[in-house]
Amino acid sequence: MKLHLKIWRQKDTKASGKIVSYELNDVSPDMSFLEMLDVLNEQLVSKGEDPVAFDHDCREGICGMCSLMINGQAHGPEALTTTCQLHMRKFKDGDTIVIEPFRARAFPIVKDLAVDRSAFDRVVQAGGYVSVNTGNAEDANAIPIPKENADLAMDAAACIGCGACVAACPNAAAMLFVSAKLSQFALLPQGQPERERRALRMVDQMDKEGFGNCTNHYECMASCPKGIDVENIARMNREYGFAFVKARSKP
């Protein structure tokens, strides 16, 4: 395959960036998208040019590092797929592919296609934990949990924090991510001690980071590689509303 690549290049956070065009030949359809970028970088290095910076780690669809906008879509054209799991067979010989970083005020560009998503870490740190007793782990059946709640909690916990929901949202909202992290605790007995405080702190931190508001476009769910449902956002709104009213009613 021969590809025409248009890639965003930016030296650092403060520098101005621009789209730079590259031609890449002999691309195997069996390559992953990141392997294709590896081939490009090998060619750039061999020419003495600066390779394209992009995030990656596990390359197994687990870590959430491979945050790329591919032809205007977060993680590319294949649903429920991370960039590292996207294969070049999804493209055609002679295609032009535009590759950009995730765009959001809360995700400043570090270099080229790599962005700083530590805002997500700060949201989780603001309240995403549970109280645990020291000692041996309890027996798995010691705390009965309705299967529906367990399934919903596991679905929410599937979020890998990649940021595709933010990049796809026209408002750069992080509500799908935050609601998933809230839901995975709020649905289980272990998450009850800090339930109200967690909701207040995480939502407040989300606002402080500069993420936008949700206006129900549902682009977040459509772009999520793990299929996180927007029902979590409704749950988060209920959790926050209840905690806010209760906190205001205290003497």
Q: What pLDDT is recorded for position 148?
A: 96
Average pLDDT of 222-244? 97
For the whole model, what pTM was predicted? Answer: 0.94
Tokens 């003495």 — which residue? 48
Burial class (CB in 10 A: 0-12, 13-18, 19+), 69: buried
Q: Which two tokens stand for residue 50?
A: 């600066």
- Output 210 or 131, whichever has higher pLDDT: 210
Band (130; pLDDT cuts 50, 70, 90): confident
Find the range with the poorest average confidence among 34-48, 137-151, 199-213: 137-151
pLDDT of 156 higher than 90: yes
The residue length of the chain stands at 251
Separation of alpha carbons 235 and 230, rounded Å: 9
Predicted confidence (pLDDT) per residue in 199-209, tens digit = 999 999 999 99
pLDDT of 135 higher than 90: no
- Output 76 or 139, whichever has higher pLDDT: 76
Amino acid occupying residue 21:
S
Q: What pLDDT is recorded for position 128?
A: 67
Q: Which two tokens stand for residue 15?
A: 């520098």
Predicted confidence (pLDDT) per residue in 78-115, tens digit = 999 999 999 999 999 999 999 999 999 999 999 999 99
Predicted confidence (pLDDT) per residue in 237-248, tens digit = 999 999 999 999
CA dihedral 87, 88, 91, 93 (to 10 degrees): -160
Separation of alpha carbons 45 and 247, rounded Å: 57
Separation of alpha carbons 108 and 13, rounded Å: 7
Terminal C-alpha separation, the chain: 69
pLDDT of 134 higher than 70: no
Separation of alpha carbons 11 and 9, rounded Å: 7
Q: Which two tokens stand for residue 47?
A: 């020419």
Predicted confidence (pLDDT) per residue in 40-84, tens digit = 999 999 999 999 999 999 999 999 999 999 999 999 999 999 999
Q: Domains for the chain: give ranges and CATH numbers.
A: 3-111 (3.10.20.30), 119-249 (1.10.1060.10)
Q: Which residues make Cβ contacts (< 8 Å) with residue 231, sequence separation at least 6?
A: none
